[in-house]
Amino acid sequence: MAEDITQEEWQEQIANDNNAVILDVRTEEEVEDGYIPNMLNVDIRQGQGFLDEIGKLDKTKNYYVYCRSGARSAQACMLMNQMGFETTYNLVGGFMNWEGEIVEE
């Protein structure tokens, strides 16, 4: 089941979730502008390539998914749920509204 969460909820839940995986579904170019630490990047715009990569992931983990604004990540959560991932969280407002820690290259 996908759930939309605020960045406050996101940071609080991740801090207490030993089973958390942060998933960035943006393009490589977008990632170069900065990203949330310790994330895994799989670009949703790669279509089948995205589905193939996601299919290799552990479905028992809790996935915290983000993109630039929250639209692509909501779509990613939906696709993941259809593929059998039970717990996905979508970051409302996405990276452009993120005020937490970021890594810049």
- Share of residues in the chain with pLDDT > 90 (%): 97
Which distant-in-sequence residues (6+ apart) come within 8 Å of 70 by Cβ? Answer: 4, 90, 91, 92, 93, 94
Over residues 15-25, the pLDDT tens digits come to: 999 999 999 99
Name the active-site residue from 67, 76, 77, 91.
Answer: 67
Domains defined along the chain, listed by start: 2-60+84-94 (3.40.250)
Determine whether 77 is an active site residue: no
Instruction: State the chain's maximal CA–CA distance in angstroms.
Output: 34
49-83 pLDDT, tens digit per residue, is 999 999 999 999 999 999 999 999 999 999 999 99
Q: How far is CA 24 from CA 28, 104, in A?
A: 10, 14
* Closest among 98, 85, 68 to 3, alpha carbons compared: 85
Q: In 10 A of CB 71, how many CB atoms?
A: 12
Question: What pLDDT, on a 0 to 100 scale, did the predictor assign at position 30?
Answer: 97
